[in-house]
Structure 1
Amino acid sequence: MFHADSTRHAAAAPEMKSASAAGAPETKVAGAEGRIAVADFLSAFEAYKQVNDARLAEVERRSADGLTTEQLSRIDAALDAHQARLDALATKARRPALGAAPERSVEAHAHGAAFDTYVRHGEAGGLKALEAKALSAGSGADGGYLVPSETESEIGRRLAALSPIRAISAVRVIGAGTYRKPFMTSGPVSGWAAETAARPQTDSPVLAELAFPAMELYAMPAATQALLEDAQVNVEEWLAQEVDAAFAEQEGVAFVSGDGVAKPKGFLAYAKVAESAWAWDKVGYVATGAAGGFPAATPADPLIDLVYALKAGYRQNAGFVMNRKTQAAVRKLKDENGNYLWAPPAAVGQAASLMGFPIAESEAMPDIAADAYAIAFGDFRRFYLVVDRAGVRVLRDPYSAKPYVLFYTTKRVGGGVQDFDAAKLLKFATS
């Protein structure tokens, strides 16, 4: 437990808000399984608090027991397991079955049938005729065919469920290779004037152009010919299942730390400056005051400083981003009244919260270490933009890995910071 300046905390108590306000949409899971999972999680957290309180008491008495620390680690791992179970239930609920839609246009039905024939047997005549009829601009020189719109939408839904940064960021679908967005870095200057006073000309607003090129992301799942010939197998759903995890893993890293070379530029790859020296095109940070950790006396103070480094307009829909190890560290923090700052999700599909703000868990975020930017806080829908080039393409290859059939699947994705004032970082350093 820490002992903070109660006057400061009374003046700067963080805004408490619903964890579901800025995280992923709430997903309700019917049946007993969801209720049992939530109850198990809450029960484990109560046990965690009891053991951690005992550990803190032992530390204050300078008689720390290794068994208590070991027990706390086991419960911490159990909490992670319960969180994974809740995430799996929420992800399962977000995945509608392909082909279950009651209505499908004639064109979509023809495309789906032609694509099914191509995937199963390699017959591309139907797809060629459809793309020629539609004068498709998406046919690349490297070959391949557009997947049906339902499959593309399903891949997008799965990525939103599996890719944590995509789930909380703004997403725009484009038809060109680069999305360009003008942004006003400073507004028009105005001022007060008396009735007869002179009115000098004011400065004009300053505009900047942000460019987000879409880079190629690929996966190459393999299937046996026997699997493809099985009429009971939904090949569109199988393909979506095979590529979503591969795409989500690559995206998750790129959106956080990608260098922008043949991949999206992650928000940690931009220039970073102390919040007191913040300027447009740089991401501001708040230092913890201790190298590689939270300050021993007042560990929660840097989190409060981070929250209030963000302007009120962004703070309303803000949330934290950190990895699993960092979340395990902040679970132990309390306020001056002995209340835990971290709280478990109240229902399946909701996020855990820190000081009332939802937490998005991204394993691409760095661990707590000296000079590491291990926690981000902000309104990511205004901070980071994910750009999807319309169309997912598949090229069937039955020759390179016999007896398997390879499916070279490509999707063009870009990303970058669109509003540098909408999020701040926590740097684990003295300055």
Structure 2
Amino acid sequence: MEKLSVRENEEKAKEIWSDILEILKTRLPESSFNTWFVKTVGVGYTGDRLIVEAPNSFWIEWIESNYRKVINDILKELGKNLNIIFTPKAKEIEDTVEEAPSSKRVIFSPKYPLNPRFTFDSFIVGKSNEMAYHAATRVAQNPGQEYNPLFIYGGVGLGKTHLLNAIGNFIYSKSPKIRAALIRCEDLMNELIDSLQRKRMKEFREKYRSVDILLIDDIQFLQDKNILQEELFHTFNYLFEKQKQIVMTSDRSPQQIYALEERLVSRFQWGLVTEIGKPDFETRLAITKRKVEEEKILLSEEVIIFIAENIRDNVRSIEGAIKILKAYMSLTKSLVTLDKAKELLANFIKPTPNVTMQEVLRVVAQEFKLTPYDLKSKTRKKEVVLARQIAMYIARNVIGLSLSAIGSYFGGKDHTTVLHSIQKIEQMKDDPQIEVLLNEINRKLKLI
């Protein structure tokens, strides 16, 4: 092969990479392509190797983790037997040597690094999480301007941590000068204790009050942590006054966090409080298909539908089920039939009562000698209020509807009203009369 000059080598590299990018642009969402590939450029070519420069090492890790397969597929289509090597810009390498630890742009706990797989593109949006998703994207695009703080809550494995990381990933890629901190509340507590013991509270406060964005996962661990609540109260005030963005996730709403100071409950609700509910069938089906693709296994449509129909709790349960099927296929070198999937996933599948909201309204109304219309009306009569609260309680704890979904069934009531009703029954359920009433309603709904 004829030896190329340095300039010809660079021009050839740019030409080959541009050809690849042209095809890549048609294979990816516009937002993904613009975010991760517009700033890449071919810089070197040796016949069997193409050197591509990316803005920094994070960019490279992201491309390798998420887009290497599609790039390799394009190379095959073009008939090019090339090994593409990504390299960070020389400036980034110099910066990492010269930059002092105290001036790092992004602070991530060593125990809890930013997960490059958790992006807005990889998040499956459905009715149960669309409000949280759209709020998170708005916050990432305009930190400190809207929904500050943003408080996302919901059960285990429903995508709260995914959205928290997606915000961090988006900001990291778009705004390299912004300083962000991502940490679990439990790790924050341990760091606070360590700082107290070492008499380094000044450094602790400077670290978290110097950020532009504070992302805290599992904020429910604040309960009974008086010292951390005190410290977070002042940090919250400082950041909020400076219009710095705060995002928190929790397994429960601010009002439900036990022994959380009222002043913090109030502040956590200053922006937007939004819930992620259990995914509906369409969302579970999309999640299942995505996870099957990620695990690179072949499952029949009927097995995929079986998983989506029967594993309703959360995304982690779906992931666990798929890993079991993958392990079986790897060990036995055979495909998974529907019968085999039922056998292997028996422990994942909980028999759940097939109860609809209409049935709940009918049975509860009948028990109180009312009509479903009465429950959905705005009347504040004592017997109607109690019946309505019980119906909301069953909708939440049996059917698993989100607070907003329940509110829509009762004339568009907001989530705080629904939450208050559910909490009221939680407090009353040990009362013998209420206990008998609940048991009778559950019996008629064939729940016991």
TM-score interval for Structure 1 and Structure 2 normalised by the shorter chain:
under 0.3
- Whichever structure has more helix as a proportion of its residues is 2
Q: TM-score, structure 2 length as denominator?
A: 0.21
- Whichever structure has more strand as a proportion of its residues is 1
Q: TM-score, structure 1 length as denominator?
A: 0.22
